[in-house]
Structure 1
Protein backbone atom coordinates (compact mmCIF):
# COMPACT_ATOMS: atom_id res chain seq x y z
CA UNK A 1 0.00 0.00 0.00
CA UNK A 2 1.13 3.56 -0.71
CA UNK A 3 0.43 6.16 1.96
CA UNK A 4 0.06 9.69 0.59
CA UNK A 5 0.37 12.77 2.82
CA UNK A 6 -2.25 15.48 2.45
CA UNK A 7 -1.92 19.17 3.27
CA UNK A 8 -3.47 18.39 6.68
CA UNK A 9 -1.10 16.90 9.28
CA UNK A 10 -1.83 13.24 10.12
CA UNK A 11 -4.52 12.99 7.41
CA UNK A 12 -3.58 10.42 4.72
CA UNK A 13 -4.83 8.88 1.50
CA UNK A 14 -4.08 5.19 1.21
CA UNK A 15 -3.66 3.64 -2.23
CA UNK A 16 -3.73 -0.16 -2.02
CA UNK A 17 -1.74 -2.45 -4.28
CA UNK A 18 -4.44 -4.41 -6.05
CA UNK A 19 -3.63 -7.85 -7.43
CA UNK A 20 -6.10 -8.94 -10.08
CA UNK A 21 -6.56 -11.71 -12.57
CA UNK A 22 -9.42 -13.49 -14.35
CA UNK A 23 -10.81 -14.60 -10.96
CA UNK A 24 -11.14 -11.08 -9.55
CA UNK A 25 -8.86 -9.13 -7.25
CA UNK A 26 -7.19 -9.09 -3.82
CA UNK A 27 -5.71 -6.25 -1.80
CA UNK A 28 -4.55 -5.65 1.75
CA UNK A 29 -6.84 -2.93 3.08
CA UNK A 30 -4.89 -2.22 6.28
CA UNK A 31 -1.61 -3.30 7.84
CA UNK A 32 -1.01 -1.80 11.28
CA UNK A 33 2.80 -2.02 11.25
CA UNK A 34 3.18 -0.62 7.72
CA UNK A 35 0.83 2.23 8.62
CA UNK A 36 2.80 2.95 11.80
CA UNK A 37 6.15 2.96 9.98
CA UNK A 38 4.88 5.28 7.22
CA UNK A 39 2.92 7.72 9.42
CA UNK A 40 4.33 7.41 12.93
CA UNK A 41 0.77 6.79 14.18
CA UNK A 42 -0.04 3.76 16.31
CA UNK A 43 -3.73 3.08 15.69
CA UNK A 44 -5.89 0.40 17.30
CA UNK A 45 -9.26 0.13 15.58
CA UNK A 46 -12.05 -1.09 17.88
CA UNK A 47 -15.26 -0.60 15.88
CA UNK A 48 -16.30 -1.05 12.23
CA UNK A 49 -19.32 0.72 10.73
CA UNK A 50 -21.07 0.49 7.37
CA UNK A 51 -23.78 2.57 5.73
CA UNK A 52 -25.72 2.51 2.50
CA UNK A 53 -26.93 5.73 0.91
CA UNK A 54 -28.47 6.87 -2.35
CA UNK A 55 -27.32 9.64 -4.69
CA UNK A 56 -27.18 13.07 -3.06
CA UNK A 57 -27.14 11.88 0.55
CA UNK A 58 -24.73 14.05 2.53
CA UNK A 59 -23.67 12.74 5.92
CA UNK A 60 -21.67 15.15 8.02
CA UNK A 61 -19.70 16.96 9.08
CA UNK A 62 -19.41 14.85 12.27
CA UNK A 63 -16.90 14.24 15.03
CA UNK A 64 -16.60 12.96 18.57
CA UNK A 65 -14.62 14.89 21.15
CA UNK A 66 -12.99 14.51 24.54
CA UNK A 67 -12.21 11.01 25.74
CA UNK A 68 -14.34 9.61 22.91
CA UNK A 69 -12.60 11.38 20.02
CA UNK A 70 -12.24 9.06 17.03
CA UNK A 71 -9.81 8.51 14.21
CA UNK A 72 -11.36 6.83 11.17
CA UNK A 73 -10.16 4.86 8.18
CA UNK A 74 -12.87 5.15 5.53
CA UNK A 75 -13.50 3.50 2.16
CA UNK A 76 -16.25 2.78 -0.35
CA UNK A 77 -17.32 -0.80 -1.07
CA UNK A 78 -19.68 0.09 -3.94
CA UNK A 79 -20.40 3.35 -5.71
CA UNK A 80 -18.59 6.67 -5.39
CA UNK A 81 -18.46 9.45 -2.78
CA UNK A 82 -16.70 12.74 -2.19
CA UNK A 83 -15.17 12.42 1.28
CA UNK A 84 -14.29 15.48 3.37
CA UNK A 85 -12.12 15.94 6.48
CA UNK A 86 -11.98 19.31 8.29
CA UNK A 87 -9.17 20.06 10.76
CA UNK A 88 -10.72 21.27 14.04
CA UNK A 89 -7.57 21.00 16.18
CA UNK A 90 -7.22 24.57 17.45
CA UNK A 91 -3.44 24.28 17.84
CA UNK A 92 -3.04 23.12 14.25
CA UNK A 93 -1.56 25.30 11.48
CA UNK A 94 -4.35 24.00 9.22
CA UNK A 95 -7.27 24.66 11.61
CA UNK A 96 -10.45 25.23 9.61
CA UNK A 97 -9.00 23.80 6.39
CA UNK A 98 -10.34 20.73 4.65
CA UNK A 99 -9.22 17.93 2.38
CA UNK A 100 -11.52 16.38 -0.24
CA UNK A 101 -10.92 12.92 -1.69
CA UNK A 102 -13.02 10.93 -4.13
CA UNK A 103 -13.39 7.39 -2.88
CA UNK A 104 -14.93 4.67 -5.02
CA UNK A 105 -15.23 0.94 -5.42
CA UNK A 106 -13.15 1.35 -8.58
CA UNK A 107 -10.20 3.31 -7.16
CA UNK A 108 -10.25 1.42 -3.82
CA UNK A 109 -8.68 4.43 -2.11
CA UNK A 110 -8.98 4.85 1.62
CA UNK A 111 -8.84 8.02 3.66
CA UNK A 112 -7.42 8.21 7.18
CA UNK A 113 -9.09 10.95 9.23
CA UNK A 114 -7.34 11.57 12.58
CA UNK A 115 -8.87 12.54 15.90
CA UNK A 116 -9.83 16.20 16.09
CA UNK A 117 -11.27 16.31 12.56
CA UNK A 118 -14.87 16.61 11.42
CA UNK A 119 -15.75 14.14 8.70
CA UNK A 120 -18.47 13.84 6.09
CA UNK A 121 -19.26 12.59 2.61
CA UNK A 122 -21.75 13.01 -0.20
CA UNK A 123 -22.81 10.21 -2.55
CA UNK A 124 -21.94 10.94 -6.21
CA UNK A 125 -23.20 7.66 -7.73
CA UNK A 126 -26.70 6.15 -7.82
CA UNK A 127 -25.92 4.57 -4.44
CA UNK A 128 -22.90 3.81 -2.28
CA UNK A 129 -21.85 1.42 0.46
CA UNK A 130 -19.52 3.22 2.88
CA UNK A 131 -17.29 1.39 5.39
CA UNK A 132 -15.12 2.76 8.16
CA UNK A 133 -12.97 1.62 11.04
CA UNK A 134 -12.84 3.70 14.25
CA UNK A 135 -10.23 3.75 16.99
CA UNK A 136 -12.80 4.57 19.68
CA UNK A 137 -16.37 3.55 20.43
CA UNK A 138 -19.41 5.58 19.44
CA UNK A 139 -20.60 7.79 22.30
CA UNK A 140 -23.65 9.92 21.46
CA UNK A 141 -23.12 12.37 24.33
CA UNK A 142 -19.65 13.21 22.91
CA UNK A 143 -20.69 13.88 19.32
CA UNK A 144 -20.77 17.19 17.52
CA UNK A 145 -20.20 18.65 14.13
CA UNK A 146 -19.98 21.56 11.74
CA UNK A 147 -22.64 22.74 9.29
CA UNK A 148 -21.86 21.19 5.89
CA UNK A 149 -22.40 24.46 4.01
CA UNK A 150 -20.43 26.76 6.32
CA UNK A 151 -19.41 29.91 4.42
CA UNK A 152 -15.97 29.99 6.05
CA UNK A 153 -15.18 26.44 4.91
CA UNK A 154 -16.63 26.99 1.42
CA UNK A 155 -16.60 23.27 0.56
CA UNK A 156 -17.37 22.29 -3.02
CA UNK A 157 -19.38 19.11 -2.50
CA UNK A 158 -19.38 18.23 -6.19
CA UNK A 159 -23.16 18.21 -6.70
CA UNK A 160 -25.80 20.97 -6.72
CA UNK A 161 -27.21 21.81 -3.29
CA UNK A 162 -30.71 21.28 -4.70
CA UNK A 163 -29.85 17.57 -5.16
CA UNK A 164 -28.51 17.03 -1.63
CA UNK A 165 -30.41 14.96 0.91
CA UNK A 166 -29.41 16.03 4.42
CA UNK A 167 -30.81 14.91 7.77
CA UNK A 168 -32.59 17.42 9.95
CA UNK A 169 -29.92 16.86 12.60
CA UNK A 170 -27.09 17.72 10.16
CA UNK A 171 -28.91 20.84 8.97
CA UNK A 172 -28.84 22.17 12.56
CA UNK A 173 -25.09 21.76 13.17
CA UNK A 174 -23.22 24.96 14.16
CA UNK A 175 -21.03 27.05 11.90
CA UNK A 176 -17.26 26.77 12.24
CA UNK A 177 -17.11 30.06 14.18
CA UNK A 178 -19.92 28.98 16.55
CA UNK A 179 -18.24 25.61 17.00
CA UNK A 180 -14.92 27.27 17.85
CA UNK A 181 -16.64 29.43 20.47
CA UNK A 182 -18.25 26.39 22.11
CA UNK A 183 -16.27 24.72 24.86
CA UNK A 184 -16.28 20.96 24.30
CA UNK A 185 -15.95 19.00 27.50
Structure 2
Protein backbone atom coordinates (compact mmCIF):
# COMPACT_ATOMS: atom_id res chain seq x y z
CA UNK A 1 0.00 0.00 0.00
CA UNK A 2 1.49 3.30 -1.11
CA UNK A 3 -1.29 5.57 0.16
CA UNK A 4 -4.05 4.98 2.67
CA UNK A 5 -7.19 7.06 3.01
CA UNK A 6 -7.73 7.68 6.70
CA UNK A 7 -11.26 8.41 7.87
CA UNK A 8 -11.58 10.02 11.30
CA UNK A 9 -13.33 12.70 13.26
CA UNK A 10 -12.69 16.42 13.04
CA UNK A 11 -13.61 16.72 16.72
CA UNK A 12 -11.21 16.69 19.67
CA UNK A 13 -12.79 14.49 22.37
CA UNK A 14 -12.03 15.24 26.01
CA UNK A 15 -10.26 11.88 26.30
CA UNK A 16 -6.69 12.56 25.07
CA UNK A 17 -6.20 8.95 23.91
CA UNK A 18 -8.02 9.70 20.66
CA UNK A 19 -5.70 12.53 19.60
CA UNK A 20 -2.70 10.44 20.67
CA UNK A 21 -4.01 7.56 18.55
CA UNK A 22 -4.33 9.81 15.50
CA UNK A 23 -0.78 11.08 16.00
CA UNK A 24 0.49 7.50 16.30
CA UNK A 25 -1.25 6.54 13.06
CA UNK A 26 0.17 9.55 11.20
CA UNK A 27 3.70 8.92 12.44
CA UNK A 28 3.56 5.18 11.77
CA UNK A 29 2.25 5.53 8.23
CA UNK A 30 4.88 8.16 7.42
CA UNK A 31 7.76 6.10 8.83
CA UNK A 32 6.56 3.12 6.78
CA UNK A 33 6.56 5.24 3.63
CA UNK A 34 2.77 5.15 3.30
CA UNK A 35 1.14 8.41 2.24
CA UNK A 36 -1.90 9.71 4.09
CA UNK A 37 -5.00 10.81 2.18
CA UNK A 38 -7.48 12.47 4.52
CA UNK A 39 -10.23 15.06 4.83
CA UNK A 40 -7.94 18.10 4.58
CA UNK A 41 -8.88 19.70 7.90
CA UNK A 42 -6.63 21.05 10.62
CA UNK A 43 -8.86 20.28 13.63
CA UNK A 44 -9.43 17.21 15.77
CA UNK A 45 -8.17 13.77 14.86
CA UNK A 46 -7.87 14.90 11.24
CA UNK A 47 -5.39 17.62 12.11
CA UNK A 48 -3.51 15.38 14.53
CA UNK A 49 -2.91 12.65 11.96
CA UNK A 50 -1.87 15.12 9.27
CA UNK A 51 0.57 17.11 11.38
CA UNK A 52 2.12 13.95 12.87
CA UNK A 53 2.66 12.47 9.40
CA UNK A 54 4.15 15.72 8.12
CA UNK A 55 6.45 15.98 11.16
CA UNK A 56 7.67 12.44 10.39
CA UNK A 57 8.45 13.44 6.79
CA UNK A 58 5.43 11.74 5.23
CA UNK A 59 3.24 12.61 2.30
CA UNK A 60 -0.13 14.10 3.31
CA UNK A 61 -2.84 14.72 0.73
CA UNK A 62 -5.91 16.59 1.90
CA UNK A 63 -9.26 16.49 0.09
CA UNK A 64 -11.71 19.11 1.29
CA UNK A 65 -14.93 20.68 0.03
CA UNK A 66 -14.88 24.40 -0.82
CA UNK A 67 -17.49 25.09 1.87
CA UNK A 68 -15.03 23.95 4.56
CA UNK A 69 -12.21 25.95 2.98
CA UNK A 70 -14.49 28.99 3.24
CA UNK A 71 -14.88 28.26 6.97
CA UNK A 72 -11.06 28.42 7.24
CA UNK A 73 -10.64 24.87 8.53
CA UNK A 74 -8.44 23.68 5.63
CA UNK A 75 -4.92 22.51 6.38
CA UNK A 76 -2.76 24.43 3.90
CA UNK A 77 0.38 22.68 5.21
CA UNK A 78 -0.48 19.46 3.35
CA UNK A 79 1.84 18.10 0.69
CA UNK A 80 -1.15 18.51 -1.63
CA UNK A 81 -4.55 20.02 -0.92
CA UNK A 82 -7.37 19.19 -3.34
CA UNK A 83 -10.43 21.43 -3.10
CA UNK A 84 -13.64 19.87 -4.41
CA UNK A 85 -17.23 21.09 -4.58
CA UNK A 86 -19.14 18.19 -3.01
CA UNK A 87 -18.77 15.40 -0.48
CA UNK A 88 -19.37 12.90 -3.28
CA UNK A 89 -16.37 14.28 -5.16
CA UNK A 90 -14.35 14.17 -1.95
CA UNK A 91 -15.07 10.48 -1.36
CA UNK A 92 -14.40 9.60 -5.00
CA UNK A 93 -11.01 11.31 -4.82
CA UNK A 94 -10.21 9.45 -1.59
CA UNK A 95 -10.77 6.22 -3.52
CA UNK A 96 -8.89 7.37 -6.61
CA UNK A 97 -5.81 8.49 -4.66
CA UNK A 98 -5.57 5.54 -2.25
CA UNK A 99 -5.02 1.81 -2.27
CA UNK A 100 -6.44 1.14 1.16
CA UNK A 101 -8.70 2.66 3.82
CA UNK A 102 -8.39 2.94 7.60
CA UNK A 103 -11.18 4.20 9.82
CA UNK A 104 -10.28 5.69 13.20
CA UNK A 105 -12.82 6.84 15.78
CA UNK A 106 -15.18 9.48 14.46
CA UNK A 107 -18.80 10.48 14.06
CA UNK A 108 -21.45 10.49 11.37
CA UNK A 109 -19.19 11.65 8.52
CA UNK A 110 -16.64 8.99 9.39
CA UNK A 111 -19.36 6.33 9.33
CA UNK A 112 -20.55 7.58 5.93
CA UNK A 113 -17.03 7.18 4.56
CA UNK A 114 -16.52 3.71 6.07
CA UNK A 115 -19.83 2.33 4.80
CA UNK A 116 -19.24 3.73 1.33
CA UNK A 117 -15.79 2.11 1.17
CA UNK A 118 -17.33 -1.24 2.17
CA UNK A 119 -20.26 -0.86 -0.22
CA UNK A 120 -17.98 0.08 -3.12
CA UNK A 121 -15.79 -2.95 -2.38
CA UNK A 122 -18.85 -5.23 -2.48
CA UNK A 123 -19.89 -3.75 -5.81
CA UNK A 124 -16.40 -3.86 -7.31
CA UNK A 125 -15.76 -0.12 -7.59
CA UNK A 126 -12.44 -0.77 -5.85
CA UNK A 127 -10.56 -3.85 -4.66
CA UNK A 128 -8.63 -2.28 -1.79
CA UNK A 129 -8.59 -3.35 1.87
CA UNK A 130 -10.97 -1.55 4.25
CA UNK A 131 -9.61 -1.43 7.79
CA UNK A 132 -11.35 -0.48 11.02
CA UNK A 133 -9.08 0.42 13.93
CA UNK A 134 -11.19 -0.55 16.93
CA UNK A 135 -9.02 1.23 19.49
CA UNK A 136 -10.31 1.38 23.08
CA UNK A 137 -13.32 -0.73 22.04
CA UNK A 138 -14.83 2.34 20.36
CA UNK A 139 -16.36 0.30 17.54
CA UNK A 140 -17.41 -2.80 19.50
CA UNK A 141 -21.10 -2.14 18.82
CA UNK A 142 -20.47 -1.53 15.12
CA UNK A 143 -18.46 -4.75 14.79
CA UNK A 144 -21.29 -6.63 16.50
CA UNK A 145 -23.86 -5.02 14.18
CA UNK A 146 -21.80 -5.92 11.07
CA UNK A 147 -21.63 -9.52 12.27
CA UNK A 148 -25.41 -9.45 12.80
CA UNK A 149 -25.92 -8.25 9.20
CA UNK A 150 -23.81 -11.17 7.97
CA UNK A 151 -25.53 -13.66 10.30
CA UNK A 152 -28.95 -12.51 9.08
CA UNK A 153 -27.92 -12.73 5.43
CA UNK A 154 -27.80 -9.04 4.48
CA UNK A 155 -24.03 -9.29 4.03
CA UNK A 156 -23.12 -12.18 1.73
CA UNK A 157 -20.70 -14.79 3.14
CA UNK A 158 -17.99 -13.82 0.62
CA UNK A 159 -18.27 -10.18 1.72
CA UNK A 160 -18.27 -10.55 5.50
CA UNK A 161 -14.50 -10.14 5.67
CA UNK A 162 -14.37 -6.89 3.66
CA UNK A 163 -14.26 -4.92 6.91
CA UNK A 164 -10.91 -5.82 8.45
CA UNK A 165 -11.00 -5.15 12.20
CA UNK A 166 -8.07 -4.91 14.61
CA UNK A 167 -7.41 -3.22 17.93
CA UNK A 168 -3.84 -2.14 17.14
CA UNK A 169 -2.38 -0.42 14.10
CA UNK A 170 0.42 -2.96 13.46
CA UNK A 171 -2.11 -5.81 13.49
CA UNK A 172 -4.48 -3.89 11.23
CA UNK A 173 -1.76 -3.03 8.69
CA UNK A 174 -0.58 -6.66 8.61
CA UNK A 175 -4.13 -7.89 7.98
CA UNK A 176 -4.69 -5.25 5.30
CA UNK A 177 -1.46 -6.20 3.51
CA UNK A 178 -2.62 -9.86 3.48
CA UNK A 179 -6.07 -8.96 2.09
CA UNK A 180 -7.19 -10.90 -0.95
CA UNK A 181 -9.78 -9.22 -3.22
CA UNK A 182 -13.24 -10.76 -2.99
CA UNK A 183 -15.82 -11.80 -5.56
CA UNK A 184 -17.82 -8.65 -6.19
CA UNK A 185 -21.54 -8.33 -6.79
CA UNK A 186 -20.98 -7.30 -10.41
CA UNK A 187 -19.04 -10.54 -10.94
CA UNK A 188 -21.92 -12.67 -9.66
CA UNK A 189 -24.84 -14.16 -11.53
CA UNK A 190 -28.28 -12.77 -10.76
CA UNK A 191 -29.44 -16.10 -9.32
CA UNK A 192 -26.52 -15.99 -6.83
CA UNK A 193 -27.57 -12.64 -5.41
TM-score range, shorter chain: under 0.3
Question: TM-score if structure 2 supplies the norm length?
Answer: 0.27
TM-score normalised according to structure 1 size: 0.28
Structure in which a larger fraction of residues adopt helix? 2
Relative contact order (C-alpha < 8 Å, sep 6+): which is higher?
A: 1
